[in-house]
């Protein structure tokens, strides 16, 4: 018997002695001592569920037990009422906002940077109104240029800028979420642990990060990657098949998420695992199979 098991059984044993005279149930006392397994909160992006309009998509999601909705950030300020009304009375909340801003934060051109600043702030304000956990952003894609060079000064600049953005997001009851990509898409941020270190060094509780199972190709372990960010910084997760970014399960044995899920369970991850993927087969079939696969792997983890 290891120390933890011994302590648990000792606590239950002590409880049984204590409750014997009061007549309370021993089962209740032991059940209270055991921590419940964290819940898997699944989310879909707007394009994931079939349906002719937002309400049809949300009906479909509700029937599947999907509890998160991740809209894109483009035009979000004009969609606040539409989204609020569509979610009213449902067991679905906004999980995160996926980008949608213009420009980029590491732009050399001041005009492009100013465009980022104003459009990103509009999205953050709208995200707060609809109760989103945060707004996802990438510091720079490979195709975005001219971009600040990959130097120590640029990292310091990014941390300063993220601090300002994070503080702005906190005022709007939301956060900004850095998303690491893979080297084919972004040279700058490619590891969950690197994103988490930028969160830490930005010195704002409004700066968070996420992991995307599709992009996490340079993290050598999903488990270690999520734990490196931990509950303090990990605010969102994207999921897709791991070979071709289609529906989880469509790439067969490659689509193993158990290690990552184990980390999420160990850290009591309270946020969402959100579908960001295409689809090769018939959507309704692959989607149903994907949700079943993910739920089974979560149980297994």
Interface residues with Mg ion (CB under 5 A) are 212, 238, 276
Q: How many CB atoms within 10 Å of residue 268?
A: 12
| 30: region left, alpha or beta (phi > 0 left; psi from -120 to 50 alpha) | alpha
Q: Rg for the chain (alpha carbons), in Å?
A: 21
Residue 194 CB, shortest distance to Mg ion, in Å, is 16
Residue 88 CB, shortest distance to Mg ion, in Å, is 28
* Cβ–Cβ under 8 Å, residues 245 and 212: no
**Helix or strand or coil: residue 258?**
helix
C-alpha span between 99 and 97 (Å, rounded): 6
C-alpha span between 43 and 46 (Å, rounded): 10
Residue 32 CB, shortest distance to Mg ion, in Å, is 39
Give CA angle at 94 (93, 96), nearest 5°.
Answer: 145
Q: In terms of CB distance, is 98 or 169 closer to Mg ion?
A: 98
* Cβ–Cβ under 8 Å, residues 93 and 135: no
* Cβ–Cβ under 8 Å, residues 63 and 50: no
C-alpha span between 88 and 208 (Å, rounded): 27
Q: In terms of CB distance, is 219 or 276 closer to Mg ion?
A: 276
Q: In terms of CB distance, is 208 or 238 closer to Mg ion?
A: 238
Q: In terms of CB distance, is 136 or 159 closer to Mg ion?
A: 136
Residue 122 CB, shortest distance to Mg ion, in Å, is 21
Residue 99 CB, shortest distance to Mg ion, in Å, is 9
Q: In terms of CB distance, is 206 or 211 closer to Mg ion?
A: 211
Residue 203 CB, shortest distance to Mg ion, in Å, is 25
Q: In terms of CB distance, is 222 or 276 closer to Mg ion?
A: 276
C-alpha span between 237 and 226 (Å, rounded): 9
């Amino acid at each position: 018997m290891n120390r933890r098991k011994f302590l648990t059984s000792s606590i239950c044993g002590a409880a049984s002695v204590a409750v014997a005279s009061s007549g309370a149930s021993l089962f209740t006392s032991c059940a209270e001592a055991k921590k419940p397994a964290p819940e898997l909160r699944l989310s879909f992006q707007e394009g994931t569920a079939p349906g002719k309009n937002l309400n049809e998509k949300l009906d479909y999601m509700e029937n599947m037990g999907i509890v998160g909705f991740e809209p894109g950030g483009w035009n979000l300020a004009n969609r606040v009422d539409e989204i609020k009304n569509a979610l009213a009375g449902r067991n679905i909340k906004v999980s995160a906002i996926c980008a949608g801003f213009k420009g980029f934060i590491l732009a050399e051109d001041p005009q492009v940077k100013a465009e980022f600043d104003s459009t990103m702030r509009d999205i953050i304000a709208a995200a707060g109104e609809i109760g989103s956990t945060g707004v996802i952003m990438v510091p720079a894609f490979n195709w975005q240029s001219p971009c600040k060079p990959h130097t120590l000064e640029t990292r310091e600049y990014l941390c300063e800028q993220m601090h300002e953005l994070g503080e702005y997001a906190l005022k709007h009851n939301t956060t900004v979420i850095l998303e690491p990509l893979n080297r084919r898409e972004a040279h700058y941020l490619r590891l969950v642990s690197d994103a988490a270190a930028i969160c830490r060094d930005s010195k704002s509780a409004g700066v968070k990060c996420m992991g995307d199972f599709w992009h996490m190709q340079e993290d050598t372990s999903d488990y270690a990657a999520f734990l490196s960010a931990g509950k303090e910084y990990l605010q969102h997760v994207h999921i897709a098949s791991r070979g071709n970014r289609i529906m989880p399960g469509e790439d067969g044995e490659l689509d193993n998420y158990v290690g990552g899920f184990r980390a999420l369970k160990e850290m009591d991850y309270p946020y969402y695992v959100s579908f960001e993927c295409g689809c090769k087969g018939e959507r309704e079939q692959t989607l149903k199979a994907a949700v079943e696969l993910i739920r089974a792997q979560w149980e297994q983890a």
